[in-house]
Amino acid sequence: MDAMSSGLMALGHRVRILSACTHKHPCDAQLLDSDYVERTGFTGIPIDTRLNAVDALSSLVAGESYNIARFRTPEMLAALRTLLQRVNFDVVLIESLFMAPYLDLIREMSDALVVLRAHNVEHRIWSDLAQTTPGLTRRTYIRLLAKQLESFELGQLNAFDGILAISAEDADAFRELGCTLAIEVVPFGLDLPNHQTPHPTVFPEVFHLGAMDWEPNLRGVRWLVDEVWPLVRESVPHAVLRLAGKAFPTDFQVPEGQGVEVLGELDDSSTLYARPAIMAIPLLSGSGMRIKAIEGAAAALPIVSTTIGAEGLSPAPPFAIADTPREFADALIADLRCPEVAVERGQAGLAWVDAHYNNPRLVARFVDFCLQQLAL
């Protein structure tokens, strides 16, 4: 979202941002660039999306998606109404399905084109989680949430004026699900530095970076630590695995004497990308695209990923792809033992990002989508 808004302003467009601020994604004014806040009129509205048993039961009885209902609040409605009264917009970009409950108010108060930027095929993530969730009661409830979310998502597919998908796979999925709107693929983009210094030809460590309050990340890391890493240490006894990201569970345990270190949340993830290391993406479920994968490739790091971890990246990235513990371990071992090959793959990744995820070109594609396909 930052890349899109910054890219639009760089092209001379005026941008206003209204953001829902949750306990998982708070709006800390001290972390925001003052010039960015001034230029976008950035307004953050605190909303409480924490799980609530009473609300969950009410949604269950009403047959509505609790995943979605948590994001519709009187505070956001009031702030949106005020903004629409003050500003006449050409385009309203709704970031993610979870902001779709505000579409009716936008339609009521504005004749702007309304575009959904779909971050994932949301119900498929929950369907995947339901299949692997332990415990019959919990698994049954998550399966119900997935069905309710699917019903809402399918009902919204043709409610907008257009959809921005972040991957070609997601765009195809929306069409298969019945979307007849104009769809453009505009993935996450990066503003690349003019020169990226190659990493030294030594990769003494492996790292994973990801928010651990997202269930697919948590499950993937547990798989990496429990099933993959012991195989790596058998062949490379001094290999180190570092785990970074916010919201590590307090009961998250790592084996002693296996070179596994939990860094937790970092003040600046760029410090991790600057280290000579192999990036691991051990995702076993989820949809959409992996922003961290693009950031890692832009840092010229060699990447080992599952097929799902590289899903949504098009064309296929120059990652080592492995889906079983043995295959994943072997790919990590190969990079640890042959750093020269790893460096070459890292440089290929940087060239791939420049060719396909260059932010100014992607933002211009969105503008063309509005001007041409949507006849703005």
Which of the two residues, 47 and 314, has the higher pLDDT score? 47
- pLDDT the model gives residue 27: 84
In a domain? residue 249:
yes
Peptide bond into 46 cis (omega under 30): no
Say if residue 170 is in the same domain as residue 48.
Answer: yes
Which of the two residues, 312 and 320, has the higher pLDDT score? 320
- Is the pLDDT assigned to residue 195 strictly greater than 60? no
- pLDDT the model gives residue 54: 78
In a domain? residue 274:
yes
Say if residue 77 is in the same domain as residue 155.
Answer: yes
Say if residue 265 is in the same domain as residue 211.
Answer: yes
Asked which of 51-60, 252-261, 277-286, 359-368 is least confident by mean pLDDT, the reply is: 51-60
One-letter amino acid for residue 83 of the chain: L
CA–CA gap between residue 219 and residue 147 (Å, rounded): 22
One-letter amino acid for residue 184 of the chain: E
216-245 per-position pLDDT tens digit: 899 999 999 999 999 999 999 999 999 999
Say if residue 159 is in the same domain as residue 284.
Answer: no
Q: How many domains does the chain have?
A: 2
Say if residue 206 is exposed, middle or buried (CB neighbours under 10 Å; 0-12, 13-18, 19+).
buried
Say if residue 97 is in the same domain as residue 172.
Answer: yes
In a domain? residue 199:
no
91-124 per-position pLDDT tens digit: 999 999 999 999 999 999 999 999 999 988 888 8
Question: For all residues of the chain together, what is the average pLDDT?
Answer: 90
- Structural domain of 9: 2-189+358-373
Say if residue 294 is in the same domain as residue 344.
Answer: yes
Confidence label for 287 from pLDDT (cuts 50, 70 and 90): low
Q: Which residues are CB-contacts of 306 (< 8 A; sequence separation ≥ 6)?
A: 220, 281, 282, 283, 284, 321, 322, 323, 328
Say if residue 117 is in the same domain as residue 62.
Answer: yes
In a domain? residue 198:
no
Asked which of 94-103, 280-289, 301-310 is least confident by mean pLDDT, the reply is: 280-289
- pLDDT the model gives residue 197: 60
Tokens representing 273 are 């990308």
SS3 label, residue 200:
coil
Q: What is the reported pTM?
A: 0.72
- Is the pLDDT assigned to residue 194 strictly greater than 70? no
Instruction: Residue 95: count other Cβ atoms within 10 Å of its Cβ.
Output: 18
CA–CA gap between residue 27 and residue 69 (Å, rounded): 21
- pLDDT the model gives residue 141: 82
**Residue among 230, 238, 243, 211 at smallest CA distance from 25:** 211
- pLDDT the model gives residue 178: 94
In a domain? residue 194:
no
Confidence label for 64 from pLDDT (cuts 50, 70 and 90): confident
Say if residue 37 is in the same domain as residue 14.
Answer: yes
Q: Report the length, in residues, of the chain.
A: 376
Say if residue 160 is in the same domain as residue 239.
Answer: no
In the 8-state DSSP scheme, what is residue 70? T
- pLDDT the model gives residue 24: 82
Say if residue 276 is in the same domain as residue 351.
Answer: yes
Say if residue 280 is in the same domain as residue 225.
Answer: yes
- pLDDT the model gives residue 202: 67
CA–CA gap between residue 187 and residue 164 (Å, rounded): 9
- Is the pLDDT assigned to residue 209 strictly greater than 90? yes
Say if residue 143 is in the same domain as residue 222.
Answer: no
Q: What's the CATH number where 289 sits? A: 3.40.50.2000
